[in-house]
Structure 1
């Protein structure tokens, strides 16, 4: 295996290209103030949209832009409850009808657990 290795060059460690003729993108330093009192700067492109907040490299808390850029307020969706979703599918009248039907079936012993059913008077007389 030693015969097949490349000698004289560290692969990936060095680039043999030089920087002549290369024009780098314009850059700017953007400062951020951490709530813990840290100040740091990030190098960004001049064309980039500057974020209003950035994670502090020292403590990990969210730091705000020193240039006074404020974060956008996110529109919060109202909380949808089960009842709200149910009312999207059925009206209150339909729900009352369904409840009445289900209660009749439950009281008649056609649905529900067996220990909730009361034997009817006709069944008691037939068994006696």
Structure 2
């Protein structure tokens, strides 16, 4: 049985097309320097604009493009509004306390059930 097994791991792994007649895009080597003093190059297409920062493979920090000015700090994003924030925009704490007391009364009296709609449709 062992003599009938297909051998070789490269079946289908290599392309059968030749590189004849293929025009490769022109490339440039872009140099980056990390804070850990690691200097490395990244190949890019000549018509591509290199980013100001690139992740260093050695330490994972952001490496800066050599010969470029300091990158602009990213704008501070507004904190995401939570459900509580939006609720506080619509109701005061006194209204929320009143709603809570009303729902607790219904719960304690046994009138709250999972299969019942409590809001009146307008």
TM-score, structure 2 as length reference: 0.57
User: Which has the higher Rg, Structure 1 or Structure 2?
Assistant: 1
Asked if 1:85 is matched to 2:82, the reply is no
- Counterpart of 1:56 in structure 2 is 56
* Ranges in structure 2 where 5+ consecutive residues have no aligned partner: 109-122
Q: Map residues 1-128 of structure 1 onto 2, 5 A cutoff.
A: 11=11, 12=13, 17=18, 19-68=19-68, 70=71, 73-78=74-79, 80=81, 83-88=84-89, 90-92=90-92, 95-100=93-98, 102-103=100-101, 110=105
Q: Check whether the contact 1:34–1:56 (CA below 8 A) recurs between aligned residues.
A: yes
Q: Check whether the contact 1:54–1:64 (CA below 8 A) recurs between aligned residues.
A: yes
Structure 1: how far apart are the matches of 2:42 and 2:5? Answer: 43
Structure 1: how far apart are the matches of 2:95 and 2:39? Answer: 65
- Counterpart of 1:122 in structure 2 is none
* Ranges in structure 1 where 5+ consecutive residues have no aligned partner: 114-128
How far apart are residue 96 of structure 1 and its match? Answer: 2.2
Structure 1: how far apart are the matches of 2:59 and 2:98? Answer: 60
| Residue 72 to residue 48, structure 1, CA distance change in 2 (3 Å) | farther
How far apart are residue 97 of structure 1 and its match? Answer: 4.0
TM-score, structure 1 as length reference: 0.55
Residue-pair matches, total: 104
More helix by share: 1
How far apart are residue 51 of structure 1 and its match? Answer: 1.7
Q: Check whether the contact 1:53–1:71 (CA below 8 A) recurs between aligned residues.
A: no
